[in-house]
Amino acid sequence: MKTGALVPDNMIVRLILSEIKKRGFITTPPMPYTLNSASTAIPSLEFIDDSFSPDTLHAFDYHYSDSPSASFILDGFPRTAVQAQSIDSLIPINMVVNIDTPKEVIVERISNRWVHAPSGRVYNTTFNPPKVPGKDDITGEPLTRRSDDDPSVWNERLKAFEKTSIPLLEYYDRKGLLWTVKGNSSDEISPKLFNEFGGRFGTAAT
């Protein structure tokens, strides 16, 4: 991650599935005990190790909740068409947002980002600076830079994304799930995003 490389597909898919299962959004159906249970039992996601690949997971029938409270957002995942295909039969994805922002704007924002690590509060010296430079507005504690918030790291990440984004976007476009929004800031993008959510899912954005 520090060099800008992507985490291996099988690792990130397992991490995502484990977290969603922990929240009760997906479950493994009970299996009747048979003499062959030891060889055919569905694995618990908490104990899936590197010997299991996304293809292995597809062999098992996971049940998912259709409750509105089980809704979730995956931010920055999947990053590749392979990841998308791996997760697709396990988690019901019903909308994919492609935020189209110029590379130069992204790198500039990353370069000016500071965080208060204990709380997760984020500042940007360009458009959301702290009241006192280098200090958190609430606690007065020092702000820090994330170790991967380095222009060279992000340039590598963006290069990698450009290579994988076209097949990924084409995959979701063929499924009718892709929606692209253009903008340089959250002030531009957020109203469009909330309006699209409201139109698709019939709920008022808050």
Residue 21, pLDDT score: 85
Give the CA count within 13 Å in the CB-facing half-sphere of 175: 19
Asked whether the beta carbons of 163 and 154 are under 8 A apart, the reply is no
Residue 86 C-alpha from the chain's centroid: 14
DSSP state of 112: T
Handedness of CA 51, 5, 109, 185 (dihedral sign): negative
The CA–CA distances, whole Å, from 168 to 16, 82, 163, 183, 203 equal 18, 8, 10, 20, 28
Question: Quick one: which of 97, 122, 98 has its CA closest to 110?
Answer: 122
pLDDT in tens, 77-86: 888 888 888 8
Residue 172, SS3?
Answer: helix
Residues in contact with 50: Cβ distance below 8 Å, sequence separation at least 6, in sequence order: 10, 11
Residue 31 pLDDT greater than 80, yes or no: no
pTM above 0.75, yes or no: no
pLDDT in tens, 113-129: 899 999 989 998 888 89
Token pair listed for 197 = 């959510």
DSSP state of 68: G
Domains in the chain (CATH in brackets) are 1-77 (no CATH), 94-206 (3.40.50.300)
Residue 5 pLDDT greater than 80, yes or no: no
Question: Quick one: which of 5, 9, 7, 93 has its CA closest to 56?
Answer: 9
pLDDT in tens, 85-112: 888 877 778 899 999 988 888 887 888 8
Asked whether the beta carbons of 16 and 74 are under 8 A apart, the reply is yes
Binned at pLDDT 50, 70 and 90, residue 194 comes out as very high
